[in-house]
């Protein structure tokens, strides 16, 4: 089945699209994102359900009309944001193929992700490095002067990487717009151990930027109380 998945992506997309049409509230959207499975294809978010729920409740109140997600991977957060955005929203996703902290998504998933959009929504999928000036220029051009209502930063989790995303795309928000950062808690060991015990994956450093931002702007932390002390979502209103 695994090898057949590219050929089955369009059929999975049709199945997801018809289920998505019935998912109007936060619970239904969460269930769809975490549980959808067709032909071995899923879109599971790389999130704690408790934390994503709280973020989606905030989005459902706001019904954003212009959304940018940096870091899409399996597509679960993109699906959820798209379903809870305004019926005529413009949603843009940026993800670097084979990028760090999740690995991006293969080209064959494009029809599946396109199926997330409601009939009057517009969804642009950029397979690109968010740090490249051309990518920022492309986002600006797609938005055509329209400010963002919501920005989700969940891509390069190094301190410099997340800062670059914040500094490049944060100015695209309207006053009162919302920026959410994923993984604001320091990673659990072994990332913080030095030497032989450390893994060779890059450590998440979003918490370093978050520590600087959270007191400068109106902010809120969403942290699963039953979690193991990692992940967490930080919200700032600009």
Structure tokens at 18: 């018809």
- CA-to-CA distance for 88 and 136, rounded, in angstroms? 23
Nearer to ligand SAM, 51 or 149 (CB): 51
Nearer to ligand SAM, 73 or 176 (CB): 73
Nearer to ligand SAM, 161 or 177 (CB): 161
Interface pattern 124-163 for ligand SAM (x via CB under 6 A)? -----xxx----------------------xxx-------
Asked if residue 101 binds ligand SAM (CB under 6 A), the reply is yes
Asked if residue 64 binds ligand SAM (CB under 6 A), the reply is no
Asked if residue 209 binds ligand SAM (CB under 6 A), the reply is no
Nearer to ligand SAM, 31 or 196 (CB): 31
- Say whether 32 sits in a helix, a strand or coil: helix
Q: Is the dihedral of CA 165, 42, 227, 50 positive or negative?
A: positive
Q: Which stretch binds ligand SAM (CB under 6 A): 98-106, 112-120, 189-197, 210-218?
A: 98-106
Q: What is the 8-class DSSP label of residue 195?
A: G
Return the ∠ at Cα 148 (arms to 13 and 185), rounded to 5°: 80
Do the beta carbons of residue 97 and residue 128 sit within 8 Å? no
Nearer to ligand SAM, 32 or 70 (CB): 70
- Subset of 16-45 contacting ligand SAM (CB under 6 A): 45
Strand partners, 41: 38
Torsion angle (degrees, nearest 10) of CA 196, 198, 201, 204: -150
- Subset of 165-194 contacting ligand SAM (CB under 6 A): none
Instruction: Give yes or no for a cis peptide into 190 (omega within 30° of 0).
Output: yes
Which residues of this protein are in contact with ligand SAM, per CB under 6 A?
Answer: 45-47, 70-74, 76-77, 94-96, 99-104, 129-131, 154-156
């Amino acid at each position: 089945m695994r090898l057949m998945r590219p050929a089955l992506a369009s059929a999975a997309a049709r199945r997801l699209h018809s289920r998505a049409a019935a998912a109007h509230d936060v619970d239904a959207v969460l269930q769809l994102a975490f549980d959808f499975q067709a032909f071995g294809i899923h879109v599971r978010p790389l999130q704690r359900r408790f934390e994503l729920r709280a973020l989606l409740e905030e989005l459902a109140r706001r019904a954003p009309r212009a959304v940018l997600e940096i870091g899409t991977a399996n597509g679960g957060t993109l699906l959820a944001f798209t379903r809870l955005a305004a019926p005529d929203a413009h949603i843009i996703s940026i993800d670097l193929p084979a990028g760090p902290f999740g690995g991006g998504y293969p080209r064959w998933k494009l029809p599946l992700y396109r199926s997330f959009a409601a009939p009057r929504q517009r969804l642009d999928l950029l397979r690109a490095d968010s740090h490249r000036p051309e990518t920022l220029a492309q986002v600006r051009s797609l938005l055509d002067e329209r400010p963002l209502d919501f920005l989700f930063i969940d891509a390069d989790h190094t301190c410099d990487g997340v800062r670059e995303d914040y500094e490049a795309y944060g100015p695209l928000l309207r006053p009162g717009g919302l920026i959410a950062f994923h993984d604001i808690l320091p990673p659990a060991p072994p990332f913080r151990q030095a030497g032989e015990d450390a893994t060779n994956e890059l450590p998440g450093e979003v918490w370093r930027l978050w520590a600087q931002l959270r007191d400068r702007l109106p902010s809120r932390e969403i942290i699963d109380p039953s979690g193991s002390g990692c992940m967490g979502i930080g919200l700032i209103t600009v």
